[in-house]
Amino acid sequence: MFLAIYFIPRPVWKNESVENETWRTEFILLGLTDREELQLPLFLIFLLIYLMTVLVNIGIIAVISMSPQLHNPMYILLANLSFLDFSYSSSICPRTLFDLLHEKKVISFHGCILQQYFFGALATVEFFLLAAMAFDRYVAVCNPLHYITVMNRMVCIQLVVCSYATGFLDSTLFTCYTFQLPLCSNKLNHFFCDAPLLLRLSCVDTYPQEALLFVFSCLNLIGTFLAILISYAKIVAAILRIRSAEGKQRAFSTCSSHLSCVIILYGTLLFMYFRPSSRYSLEHEKVVSVFYTIVIPLVNPLIYCLRNKEVKGALNTLRKRCFIGGAVVHPSAMAA
């Protein structure tokens, strides 16, 4: 897949009157804002958010990996969610930080391809992974006695593999189809290579590509959202049948972290794609894009850290194993 993306031929540039040939091999990103006084503050804010995103997501993966009590399907899926949040944030944020410190914001043609490809693939994988996590919570609440047999390790691995395969296949097809269009400009009014805006640079009718993007969006975004909605409808019905208030609270607490992540992500995307059009829509789109590309990858792991007792318990256990009496214990001593 990667080789297929890399060897996409450069598009035909229709503006033959331009003397500088280098513009045909690169894109100019207009960025978040053209106000120079905001560049440095935005750089510092985004740098802090990105460093926290890397630290928290890698921390969750490490905690789950080193805690045997968390080696079950729910936390395997959570570790993959943290990996995706870290990865797709890394496909956008470092480049954005670099551009905020430079007046000329240029990205190569192949760099634009790879950014669009990996961001599209990883974001799509996250949709399917959230749907898989909803199914996991449905089995845990509605069929707790059969949870071990229904959501065994093999089923969990199959769900993860199918999520990644679907996301990368969809992104490969759409990226190969999009970047072969003839283009009239290399100026992209955004801070990263986003597929809908790339289509606007084309000199020809992009209806087939827009239709393909719409189909993929329906299958990926709406399809996974409906799967999550159905799972939670059955979960709510099962919770309402529980007589004790304590039992209801316990059942709901097993789903609250995942439900919070779903509401934040899908709520942001629904606001972005179903809001009324206005002359400020592009500026609004940039702000919302910052939220789901830079902020949400940090919010998701924080929700699981703050609301999940087992994750917090495993973190405390590891901290006690590493620190005894204020002194760091050497790994060999811990093993002994």
For the chain, percent of residues with pLDDT exceeding 70: 84
Is 284's pLDDT higher than 80?
Answer: no
| Mean pLDDT to the nearest integer, 272-286 | 62
Residues 6+ apart with CB under 8 A from 218: none
**264 against 184, higher pLDDT:** 264
Which of 2-6, 13-17, 152-156, 326-330 is predicted most confidently? 152-156
**pLDDT of res. 219:** 81
The answer as to whether 326 is a domain residue is no
**pLDDT of res. 328:** 44
Per-residue pLDDT tens digits for 185-198: 888 888 898 877 88
Which of 44-48, 144-148, 282-286, 298-302 is predicted most confidently? 44-48
Number of domains in the chain: 1
Element housing 323 (H / E): strand 323-324
CB-CB contact of 53 with 92 (8 Å):
no
The answer as to whether 331 is a domain residue is no
Is 331's pLDDT higher than 50?
Answer: no
The answer as to whether 150 is a domain residue is yes
User: Using 50, 70 and 90 to split pLDDT, how confident is the model at 318?
Assistant: confident
Is 306's pLDDT higher than 90?
Answer: no
The answer as to whether 325 is a domain residue is no
Per-residue pLDDT tens digits for 207-241: 777 777 778 777 888 889 999 999 999 999 988 88
User: Using 50, 70 and 90 to split pLDDT, how confident is the model at 323?
Assistant: low
CB-CB contact of 113 with 2 (8 Å):
no
The answer as to whether 78 is a domain residue is yes
CATH number of the domain enclosing 224? 1.20.1070.10
Pick from 250, 183, 219: nearest CA to 24: 183
**pLDDT of res. 19:** 41
314: left (phi over 0), alpha (psi -120 to 50) or beta: alpha
CB-CB contact of 329 with 322 (8 Å):
yes
The answer as to whether 323 is a domain residue is no
Say which range, 68-82, 99-113, 244-258, has the weakest mean pLDDT.
244-258
**322 against 27, higher pLDDT:** 27
Task: Work out the mean pLDDT of the chain and round it to a whole number.
Answer: 81
**pLDDT of res. 245:** 81
CB-CB contact of 130 with 122 (8 Å):
no
| Mean pLDDT to the nearest integer, 311-329 | 64
**13 against 123, higher pLDDT:** 123
| Mean pLDDT to the nearest integer, 138-164 | 91
Per-residue pLDDT tens digits for 113-138: 899 999 989 999 999 999 999 999 99
Structural domain boundaries, residue 223:
2-313
Other CB atoms within 10 Å distance of the CB of residue 35: 8
Other CB atoms within 10 Å distance of the CB of residue 149: 10
The answer as to whether 156 is a domain residue is yes
Residue 4: both structure tokens together: 């297929």
Is 281's pLDDT higher than 70?
Answer: no
The answer as to whether 330 is a domain residue is no
Per-residue pLDDT tens digits for 256-266: 888 888 988 88
DSSP string covering 5-72:
HHTPPPPPB--TT---GGGGGEEEE--S-S-GGGHHHHHHHHHHHHHHHHHHHHHHHHHHHH-GGG-S
